[in-house]
Structure 1
Amino acid sequence: MTPEALAHARRRAELLATMQSGKASSGAPLGLGKRSSNLFRDRHEGAKRRLDLSAFCHVLDIDTAGGWVDVEGLTSYEELVAQTLRRGLMPAVVPQLKTITVGGAAAGVGIEATAHQHGLVHDTLLELDVLLPGGEVLHCTPDNEHRDLFFGFPNSYGTLGYALRLRLRTLPVKPYVKVEHLQFNAPGAFFINLAAHCQGHADFVDGVVFGPQQQVINRACFVDAAPWLSDYRFEHIYYRSLLDKPVDYLTVQDYIWRWDTDWFWCSKNLYAQHPLVRRLLGRARLNSRFYTRVMRWNARWGLTRRLARWRGRFTESVVQDVDIPMAAAPDFLAFLLREIGILPIWICPVRGPAPNARFTLFPLAPDSLYVNFGFWDVVETAHACEPGHFNRLVEREVMRLGGIKSLYSDSYFTPQEFAQAYGLSHYQALKARYDPSGRMLGLYEKCVLRA
């Protein structure tokens, strides 16, 4: 065994011994003891038996010829990308924010601009070792005795177990990325061209809707050389460049993290796009890690909500990512512009899984093209609405159009709607096999009831 594998085995043995000794100490449900989180929903948590997996944060092996990387579940993508780039590789799908962990992206849903070819993060999984709530570790592959857990783990959000080790596919990279920004003034043409570029040879495809008559497709490819390089880590703001530069060049690392500096565009809510504030904050604070801390502080104290009420306004946070079949994408965009009004909107095409790789709790149609819509802001009204009014509108429209919603943020589904959308009959079978004593919360309790 390699030194890394031996160290991983030692950490695993120590963890299992700790779990065994603490089994009878509390009847509270098991929860992950984690200092940070990329979940965007307030929780009303009761007592939990916290499990510390923070030691599982190492890259274990990189196989350049085989095209895979072995990594522990609490490793951040920032660390994973740094190590794979040194070997001329990147994970096949890298979620947009540096602090997202590999296990979190597998248990939730991770996406980025390679998704038009490679699907979601869990579509790039080759195998994983899952820690069950009873203290057993299972090796799961697409074709072994635990294939049901392999295909049921994505979108389970820590209600079936935790990934201690994952093997993910990688891609070879070149030093630079050339980005073409293609502008459109009509949603119909925008989505037609988006689908066409997904059939081409682009390494990356995503887009932004700035308004009903202003959309941009970002088509990017790896290149060996660059005539110039842009830098969006401090003074310059990436999303504004989409309207100003028909062509751009970035290092591969800067391209991978192009959205992190300004949290896409949400840094505007902290006034961090103002040149003076930007300089006062400094380069070290212009990142998703800092913005998340501020967001959690605001959620705890309700400062922006209080200011809105002082102005006579009512607010609702609408922070959502949804996947809509390509054919229905123009209808969903029209709905967003008409009923929600949040702009800009991130657009990322997603390839559905292979026919033999249906993921139980996130059932996209095989080999079909979807469009991920990411919209993250606060909707203000002059009158009070029922709690979750705008989020409920989104959920109903997603279901009407045959799409599916990610569960990292506020959800308001009824139990019947949730069961229909996320295959709860299959989930209950997984729960009965892998958590028969109910040591972890259920998916509906955790993601909708915020337990």
Structure 2
Amino acid sequence: MNPFDLLPPGLKKRLIRWLEDNRGLVIVLFCLPASFIFDTGLSLYKWFQRTLLSAPERHDARVRQIQRRVGDWNKQDAASRRPMCTSRPNWLSLSTTFFKKSECHRIPVDLYDILHLDTERMVVRVEPMVTVGDITRYLIPRGYTLAVTLEISDATCGGLALGVGMTTYSHRVGLYQETIVSYDVVLGDGSLVRATADNEHKDLYYCLPWSHGTLGFLVALELQIIPVKQFVHMRYIPVRGQKQYCDRMRELSGALDKDAKLPDYLEATVFDRDSAVIMVGNFAKVDTPEKAAKVNHVTRWYKPWFYKHVETFLTKGESDEYIPLRDYLLRHNRAIFWVLESMIPFGNHPVFRLFLGWLCPPKPAFLKFTTTPGIRAMTFSKQVFQDIVLPMTVLEESIDLSEKLFDTYPVLIYPCRIYDHGPSNRGQLRSPKSDQMCPGANYGMFYDLGVYGTPGPVRRKRGYYNPVESMRAMEAFIRKVGGYSFLYADIFLTEEEFNEMFDLEAYNRARKMYHAEGAFPRLYEKVRPEVDVVKIGNEYAQAE
């Protein structure tokens, strides 16, 4: 029962409006300190797990325990068995949805260790619950980082492997899945297999990305690493005019020339239709006093939020600085890109940053842990949080459509290769169309369009916004141009439309071949919202 439904309609509306108008105050007085206490307790629990209950040398024994539990599930009466899933609570995931794990048979998969660093093969072997924060702390002092490192420290290596990830190095190497050397997976029959791109399980290897735990339990994976220097030399290039910044991104990403000299890191933040700042980063040493004077530790609590810092270059003009590598990789973590502004409108004020900035951001786990059905319904209908994979050929069109549907800025642009692995090595993503391919290359240049924040009509408290109409219009565009929605966020697709967006032919074969049928939920069942987004979205549509 939604507690708000017990209130008289007039009081309910006034209470909701008060909470919206005073959201920053509520978050500062309650959410931030409670989130800090919550995260401290969670960190102590994880420390206890790693220090006293876990050790890399016991990895095989822990995997055998998972196999035994899956074997026990297989001994149950087939007619009454429920599909399996991990016992990890929903609130610990970064997905915006709440999959109904209570309807599944839950198996503990408590695997938190970094297992082995192989500098000859340039891979690191990890258990799936290792986080981005963990792996960056481990690798960077040793002179390495993952080829694709997400900006949010709580994201897990396993979650990204079975979901999707891309970052500002992806114009060089592609999606996170392209940097995975092997997966160790416990299948629905309890057997353990290792899937690589060139062994007998390569069909499974190509289907595990985007599968969201519907093909088996991931128990280990090997990830490509790259050698690094301790700093990123960052150039900030402000560009006026939509065609100008879109053309510049196509040029810098190598979309027009596969032999172009590529920067190590590349992204753009679009602040309005005709204004963007392009960021070009390269590994560097700080070995002179002049360079040392330009060092900026962008993640320190008292510093401006990174995107606010970037915005200043629209008026200051082109400039450069040196950012410590871990600071750069986690530059968007403190403000959750720019989502925190909709929670705490005054959060970037220097006084707030100085005295309370160390409490930010509110932990995603805490926000999900305290999300009631009523809050879930209200928040999803009054904000947008979407990452979308689109071909670089529609960059201008997608920005225009995002403005029309959501009327919110900034938006994020991360170029990314999508490879054509051929018809026999295709997973859920289709090969790029011929006009999307980079000339002479086996990949097309796509990009992540990141749209996060409060839609304009909701923010201004006037106008009309219906999340159903807006999201379904965006999803229709994505399907038309051959793009893909990230599945951690709410989708409004029917199952037929979902099957049109994704190629599930190889995935469905893999489910049959690798004992996933009946053992794990189907992909659409796993990722669709647990609430009726169409009904709730129409109910909460704003018209004032």
Same fold (TM over 0.5): yes
Aligned-partner residue type, residue 241 of structure 1: H
Q: Does 1:29 find its partner at 2:29?
A: no
Structure-2 change in CA distance of 1:292 and 1:389 (3 Å): farther
Kindly provide the CA deviation profile for residues 260-280 of structure 1, in whole angstroms up to 9, marking residues without a partner as x.
111011111221334444455
Say if 1:33 and 1:53, in contact at 8 Å, map to a contact too. Answer: yes
Structure-2 change in CA distance of 1:402 and 1:104 (3 Å): same
> Could you tell which deviates more after superposition, 132-141 or 375-384?
375-384
Aligned-partner residue type, residue 235 of structure 1: Y
| Distance (Å, rounded) in 2 between the aligned partners of 1:247 and 1:390 | 38
**Residue in 2 aligned with 1:251?**
324
Kindly provide the CA deviation profile for residues 391-425 of structure 1, in whole angstroms up to 9, marking residues without a partner as x.
11110111122211111111121222211211123
Structure-2 change in CA distance of 1:301 and 1:414 (3 Å): closer
Deviation at 1:42, TM superposition (A): 4.1
Say if 2:98 and 2:529, in contact at 8 Å, map to a contact too. Answer: no
Say if 1:32 and 1:51, in contact at 8 Å, map to a contact too. Answer: yes
| Distance (Å, rounded) in 2 between the aligned partners of 1:300 and 1:108 | 25
**Residue in 2 aligned with 1:309?**
none
Q: Does 1:286 find its partner at 2:353?
A: no
Say if 1:64 and 1:87, in contact at 8 Å, map to a contact too. Answer: no
**Residue in 2 aligned with 1:197?**
252
- Give the 3-state SS of the residue equivalent to 2:223 in structure 1: strand
Structure-2 change in CA distance of 1:275 and 1:293 (3 Å): farther
Say if 2:338 and 2:452, in contact at 8 Å, map to a contact too. Answer: no
Structure-2 change in CA distance of 1:268 and 1:384 (3 Å): closer
| Distance (Å, rounded) in 1 between the aligned partners of 2:369 and 2:325 | 31
Equivalenced residue count is 439
Aligned-partner residue type, residue 348 of structure 2: Q
Q: Does 1:50 find its partner at 2:106?
A: yes
| Distance (Å, rounded) in 1 between the aligned partners of 2:334 and 2:371 | 20
Say if 1:45 and 1:450, in contact at 8 Å, map to a contact too. Answer: no
Deviation at 1:358, TM superposition (A): 4.7
Structure 1 residue runs without a partner (length 5+): 307-313
| Distance (Å, rounded) in 2 between the aligned partners of 1:174 and 1:112 | 18
Aligned-partner residue type, residue 82 of structure 2: A
Deviation at 1:301, TM superposition (A): 4.5
**Residue in 2 aligned with 1:61?**
116
| Distance (Å, rounded) in 1 between the aligned partners of 2:98 and 2:468 | 13
**Residue in 2 aligned with 1:230?**
296
**Residue in 2 aligned with 1:310?**
none
Aligned-partner residue type, residue 115 of structure 2: L
**Partner residue of 1:19 out of 56, 70, 76:** 70
**Partner residue of 2:348 out of 256, 261, 273:** 273
Deviation at 1:299, TM superposition (A): 5.3
**Partner residue of 1:350 out of 398, 416, 427:** 416
Structure 2 residue runs without a partner (length 5+): 1-53, 255-260, 314-318, 433-441, 532-544
Q: Does 1:362 find its partner at 2:433?
A: no
Deviation at 1:259, TM superposition (A): 0.8
Deviation at 1:80, TM superposition (A): 1.2
| Distance (Å, rounded) in 1 between the aligned partners of 2:465 and 2:338 | 27
Aligned-partner residue type, residue 255 of structure 1: Y
**Residue in 2 aligned with 1:206?**
267
**Residue in 1 aligned with 2:388?**
322
**Partner residue of 1:139 out of 176, 190, 194:** 194
Deviation at 1:241, TM superposition (A): 1.5
**Residue in 2 aligned with 1:311?**
none
> Could you tell which deviates more after superposition, 101-110 or 295-304?
295-304
Q: Does 1:40 find its partner at 2:40?
A: no
**Residue in 1 aligned with 2:241?**
186
Deviation at 1:45, TM superposition (A): 5.1
- Give the 3-state SS of the residue equivalent to 2:151 in structure 1: coil
**Residue in 1 aligned with 2:161?**
106
- Give the 3-state SS of the residue equivalent to 2:219 in structure 1: strand
Q: Does 1:76 find its partner at 2:125?
A: no
Aligned-partner residue type, residue 20 of structure 1: G
Say if 2:56 and 2:113, in contact at 8 Å, map to a contact too. Answer: no
Say if 1:96 and 1:259, in contact at 8 Å, map to a contact too. Answer: yes
Aligned-partner residue type, residue 263 of structure 1: I
**Partner residue of 2:522 out of 435, 442, 447:** 442
Deviation at 1:427, TM superposition (A): 2.0
Say if 2:482 and 2:501, in contact at 8 Å, map to a contact too. Answer: no
**Residue in 2 aligned with 1:169?**
224
Over the aligned positions, Cα root-mean-square deviation in angstroms equals 2.5
| Distance (Å, rounded) in 2 between the aligned partners of 1:426 and 1:230 | 47
- Give the 3-state SS of the residue equivalent to 2:443 in structure 1: coil
Say if 2:123 and 2:223, in contact at 8 Å, map to a contact too. Answer: yes
> Could you tell which deviates more after superposition, 137-146 or 27-36?
27-36
Aligned-partner residue type, residue 360 of structure 2: L
Deviation at 1:324, TM superposition (A): 1.1
- Give the 3-state SS of the residue equivalent to 1:65 in structure 2: coil
In the superposition, the TM-score normalised over structure 1's length comes to 0.90
Aligned-partner residue type, residue 399 of structure 1: R
- Give the 3-state SS of the residue equivalent to 1:53 in structure 2: coil
Deviation at 1:371, TM superposition (A): 1.6
Bigger helix fraction:
2
**Residue in 2 aligned with 1:423?**
503
**Residue in 1 aligned with 2:472?**
392
Aligned-partner residue type, residue 524 of structure 2: Y
| Distance (Å, rounded) in 2 between the aligned partners of 1:166 and 1:74 | 11
Alignment of 1:118-137 (within 5 A): 118-137=173-192
Say if 2:173 and 2:179, in contact at 8 Å, map to a contact too. Answer: yes
Aligned-partner residue type, residue 268 of structure 2: G
Kindly provide the CA deviation profile for residues 240-287 of structure 1, in whole angstroms up to 9, marking residues without a partner as x.
12132521211111111111111011111221334444455442x324
| Distance (Å, rounded) in 2 between the aligned partners of 1:113 and 1:101 | 18
| Distance (Å, rounded) in 1 between the aligned partners of 2:399 and 2:369 | 29
